[in-house]
Amino acid sequence: MSNRFNPLNQRRHSIFPFAPRLALVVTACLLVLAYTVSTATAALLPPDLKITTRTNALDTNAFANGLSFDEANSDAAIGNATHTGSMVQTIGGTSATTTIDDITITSGANPLEGMLTDTNDGWEIHSNVGGSYAGTSAETPENIYDLFFGLENQSAADSIQVTIMLDFDNRVNAGGADAFAASEIILYDGPSIATNELFFSDIESDTVVGNRFNSGNRTGNFGGPLNDTGIFQHVVTLNPGDIFDFHIFHLIEGGAFAAGSSYSASLDALISFDATNNTNPLPTPVTEPTILFLISAGVLGFMFKRKTKN
């Protein structure tokens, strides 16, 4: 057999010894990527914390439960006025949606009820009204949404700190000789509207009597766009056995009563939660993402160790 130098053979010998090492590098990178994606998912709420929709025992109205649109006390649109809305409940990353056209439920359940399990779970309210004078008045009378929910600490020893987060975008606009638009959302510390108000956004654009912005007093301006946007947070400490009830109330309305007048209003609100145990926390289990990270680190360490020996 000839011993003559063959460049092709030399190239094969220089490449293939690195194939196993290349495979290890690719595997480690894939594991690190899997770890990164897994850690971005929602975390479970503390097992002893129960966050659920509740029934308002102070009101016999069938819609005074959970997250609901109040079909009984909301009024149908007049003229060319419109009202559309939706409610969303997310549990364990899965969302259920109810849609509303005027005062009719067009899809989904009313009310939406259930118990949250993850930190990314929560409830949403979305509503829109609008109209314009077109030979006759246009009016969207009061449309009402409610959310009744409760926090319960079922632990016998641990206290739990819960943060209630209300992310809201509240907008109104009225123009012309005679029009108004109003929208409000209120968080009550209890099931009744007679209880303490923890938060409210209450704005009105009115071309006749003047505007309001989170106050019963008029601002001196008339009509035009107004918006109130932000994130409200309320921290609650639940001692063992504590049960706290809350109520979110939303009302939206508007009207146009003279030629050239129009109005619009909208609300987008998301209610979500975060929670931690204050005392005697449970041991943190070694989760799947952590295992993936440790395997990746081990593979990379093994590779560098072999390289050092060589």
DSSP tag of 18: G
Say what the pLDDT of residue 111 is: 95
Does residue 252 contact residue 269 with C-beta atoms inside 8 Å? no
DSSP state string for 117-160: -BTT-EEEEEEEEEEE-SSS-EEEEEEEEEEEEEEEE--SS--E
pLDDT digits (tens, 9 = 90+) for 171-209: 999 999 999 999 999 999 987 666 799 999 999 999 999
Residue 41 has pLDDT above 70, yes or no: no
Say what the pLDDT of residue 190 is: 85
Does residue 274 contact residue 166 with C-beta atoms inside 8 Å? no
pLDDT digits (tens, 9 = 90+) for 135-172: 999 999 999 999 999 999 999 999 999 999 999 999 99
Q: How many CA atoms lie within 13 A of 162 on its CB side?
A: 28
Say what the pLDDT of residue 55 is: 81
Say what the pLDDT of residue 11 is: 42
Confidence tier at 285 by pLDDT (50, 70, 90): low
Say what the pLDDT of residue 37 is: 43
Q: How far apart are CA 18 and CA 77, in angstroms?
A: 74
Q: How many CA atoms lie within 13 A of 135 on its CB side?
A: 2
Q: What is the mean pLDDT of the chain?
A: 84
Give φ, ψ of 50 to 5 degrees: -115, 115
Residue 286 has pLDDT above 70, yes or no: no
Class of residue 196 by CB neighbours under 10 A (exposed 0-12, middle 13-18, buried 19+): exposed
Q: How far apart are CA 307 and CA 303, in angstroms?
A: 6
Share of the chain above pLDDT 70, in %: 72
What pTM, to 2 d.p., does this model score?
A: 0.77
Strand partners, 114: none
